[in-house]
Chain A
């Protein structure tokens, strides 16, 4: 600004090139903006963009144990991946896992959020409890569930025995293991989902409910006609995030089952990890990672394309 004003003082009015001054200001604004973005750009480049490019590059090669490229194989890693029964099983488990966890997490969290949104005495206590799993690390939660699932002294099987039923090999039975992991994941995700949904509920204008009260709307009518539609942007966000999270599940599998029994809980991210750091096949691991990236991208894109139409932003 100061530069401009001196410029104006020095040159007679007719000679000021307004276009040039404007251009200069635009440049200045742009470089200022870039300066603010620089820290994120650097961090993103180092930890996201470069690894992404590197992964795509690696997926077309065979590598040695240290991860250095040896032979260019083109699409072969992808071809092997799609013909490998283990990987296809892994994809199937992953989709099943998403199907198990996402709807149930959302439904339970929504229910908890709706009841925790009531103005009752001591509601703060329940809100803390419901959101508490957010503060627990995946490792701690997994160890806790490992104990619960323990075949002989785990409380779950003790309970089953007490009511006369036979104990379940939660983490060792192929038909139960994925389900057990799903339960753990749902439990861990509820805290975050609950908190976001509660925040969404609290931002709904109370006068909408008051107006509905005067009109004589019942509880479920209000829930269906006001709460759910008004909550739709939040629900949309939560669904998107939960799906992405479910696709990226790793920690609980590593601690609880290591992908077993018989690969039944070998979800994609865990499969990538094993391929890369147990089998040292960085090329095919990269190919799987690229595929996962594309799937998540596609899912999110589809959600925005079809889900957002039903979302009511204020």
Chain B
């Protein structure tokens, strides 16, 4: 129950260019699957196609191994949480939660039993008689979730459910939704444009851009081995630092954006020989340089103190790079600071296709460093 297969799913409006282009995907039973992408990438459309609210232009959609292309939403045995919660303003919390069960003519006793259980679970027992407008944002969110839970559908779809909440509440609801999903063993398909939500909640993530799948995988895989430049820049905060790189074999140097020169040991490092290479390096891999290992000295143009870490921005050619240093660093704007850039921390991308050539080797080492 609850397994979803998408085979060559495409969507186009009025025979125009495809909004979604041949999506092939399997979502496992009991999985927390996140669809992430910038606005206009087609992620919500994909979710609404799974729900049955949008027509599928071509391709096959299977839920629990059954083709459901032709089925209306109610026969797909799923529940959905909307971005604006879609609560009925004229009904009380209780009536809102029971709306679906009433529509399906579920037995009254059964309704009450499920209502009490769900309200207990979501901490809504005290609020059952209230109207949605008498609830706070977080409570409304919980009612929307409760509606989903009470339906006991094995598959739950969520369309940016946290985007209307403030940052603190969002963090809290993230955890609540995640725990709920694990507890009930639902299959969850979760749409968001927020890569932090995607990283923190998903068992697996699919990055979508311009109607095409960019990459599907575990959050850590996407972070360490982004399949292309888009994923590299989309996943991670602050975003990965990028620059055009030219390899000068005669000098054994890698020149980044005509500004940074990296010495390369020709014996150990096999720098990919592509005509156009873009390199990427995570902010946390731009280490503070010590007396022995400083490779470059850069001029800081902006400092952000986060308390537990410090973000330093500096210019590399036309780009602004950000370094994330653990701890508190008393650095002033305009100061020159030493940094350590190691060649093994660089991801290499083909500038022409955008595809990953070689991921950073440092992903694993980093864990050891911080442990």
Contact = CB atoms under 8 A, between A and B. Distances in A.
B12 interface: no
B99 interface: yes
A314 B52 CA distance: 28
B86 A207 contact: yes
B90 A211 contact: no
Given A205-B84, A207-B84, A229-B90, A213 B99 contact: no
B78 A214 contact: yes
Interface string A208-222: 101111111110010
Interface in B83-102: 83-84, 86, 88-91, 99-100
A211 B89 contact: no
B86 A210 contact: yes
A216 B103 contact: yes
A92 interface: no
B104 interface: yes
Interface in A198-246: 205, 207-208, 210-218, 221, 225-226, 229-230, 232
Interface string B61-84: 000000000001111001110111
B53 interface: yes
Given A210-B53, A211-B86, A214-B73, 6 more contacts: A207-B82, A211-B147, A213-B53, A215-B100, A229-B91, A230-B89
A129 to B, nearest CB: 26
B86 A216 contact: no
B141 interface: no
Contacts of B100: 212, 214-217
Contact of A211 (B72, B82, B104): B82
A32 interface: no
B90 A213 contact: no
A312 interface: yes
Contact of B88 (A208, A213, A221): A208
B151 interface: yes
A225 B83 CA distance: 21
Contacts of A207: 82-84, 86
Contacts of A212: 99-100, 103
B51 interface: yes
Nearest to A229: B90
Interface of A: 205, 207-208, 210-218, 221, 225-226, 229-230, 232, 312, 314
A213 to B, nearest CB: 5
Tell me whether chain A's interface is mostly helix, strand or loop, or mixed: helix
Nearest to A208: B86
B88 A214 contact: no
A207 B85 CA distance: 8
Contact of A230 (B51, B52, B78, B90): B90
A21 to B, nearest CB: 37
A25 B41 CA distance: 51
Contact of B80 (A208, A214, A230): A214
Give the one of B78, B79, B80 with max A CB within 10 A.
B80
25 contacts: A205-B86, A207-B82, A207-B83, A207-B86, A210-B86, A211-B82, A212-B100, A212-B103, A213-B74, A214-B51, A214-B52, A214-B53, A214-B74, A214-B100, A215-B151, A216-B75, A216-B100, A216-B103, A216-B104, A217-B74, A217-B100, A217-B103, A221-B103, A225-B91, A230-B90
Contact of A215 (B52, B53, B84, B103): B103
Contact of B79 (A205, A214, A221): A214
A265 B86 CA distance: 49
Give the one of B79, B80, B90, B91 with max A CB within 10 A.
B90
Contact of B99 (A205, A210, A217, A230): A217
Contacts of B72: 213
